[in-house]
Amino acid sequence: MRRNIVAGNWKMNKTFEEADDLLFNIADPLKEMDLDLTQVILCPPVLYAEMFTDIALENNFSVGAQNCSNHAEGAYTGEISAAMLKSMDIEYCLVGHSERRKYFNEDSKMLAEKVDQLLENAISPIFCCGEALEEREANTHFEVVGKQLYDGLFHLTAEELDNVIIAYEPVWAIGTGKTASPEQAQEMHAFIRSLIAKKYGQDIADDTTILYGGSCNAKNAKELFALKDVDGGLIGGASLKAEDFLAIIKSF
Ligand code: PEP
């Protein structure tokens, strides 16, 4: 179902005490906010999940993980399965973040398996896609993003896709302070929606939530969120400062 979403990806930041502090500074004001039309998802380091899920409902947010295994269970030391996430009341999980693709060599086959694991366990994947700088400069950005979607997501049925959120994150904009221009963001979001329409039909495309990610902050969120095909943001750096993150949530 299409809706306005602001998701915070804390990445590998914050010790337990720091996370507790930041969570309090976000969750306390969130409780008082009128969020009828906006959903907030926090994706902390999964080790701290319980601290978040314990207070999520009463504080108007949902909890997401940043990663899960592509396997269901077994001898995969260090991994965490989708079933384990579900058993900790986690409702969302990032898949295909460019840092996982780059530093952990996650390929499309593995990402498609992760998506399947999550859906089998009733967790909504937040599927990240986006081109590198060289790919945009070579004018292959549509091709690259299209392939990521076909390879990682488009094996799903329409019913399954309904539980997926897509995040367009140009790699050159992540953590760099360089944001996609409103024209670049709208153009790519419209393209993504058109691919979904081609594969699944216009109604499903119109019903899919597509977030923008990449140096989205309290200053540029309003302009980005106002774009026709942008349904909110996946926020990295700015989600680590309560004041900035809350301002982004208020940007719809
Ligand atoms: C991200 O890592 O998903 C992200 C969007 O990071 P940042 O907002 O810091 O660019």
Overall CATH class of domain 4-249:
alpha beta
Do 191 and 150 touch, CB atoms closer than 8 A? no
Q: How many residues does the chain have?
A: 252
Domain residue extents for the chain: 4-249
Please give the pLDDT value at position 34: 87
Please give the pLDDT value at position 1: 86
Q: With a 6 A CB cut-off, is 232 part of the ligand 1 pocket? A: no
Q: Ligand 1 pocket check: which of 101, 133, 212, 215 to mutate, most ligand atoms within 8 Å of Cβ?
A: 215
User: Cα–Cα distance between 179 and 161 in angstroms, integer?
Assistant: 28
pTM of this structure:
0.98
Neighbour count for residue 113 (Cβ, 10 Å): 16
> What's the 234 CA to ligand 1 centre distance in angstroms?
7
Please give the pLDDT value at position 134: 98
Q: With a 6 A CB cut-off, is 213 part of the ligand 1 pocket? A: yes
Q: Could you identify the atom of ligand 1 that is nearest to the CA of residue 173?
A: 10
Q: Amino acid identity, residue 86?
A: K
- 44-102 pLDDT, tens digit per residue, is 999 999 999 999 999 999 999 999 999 999 999 999 999 999 999 999 999 999 999 99
Give the pLDDT means over successive 10-residue stretches in the chain (252 positions): 96 98 98 90 98 97 98 98 98 98 98 98 98 98 98 98 98 96 98 98 98 97 98 98 97 94
Read off the DSSP letter of residue 200: H
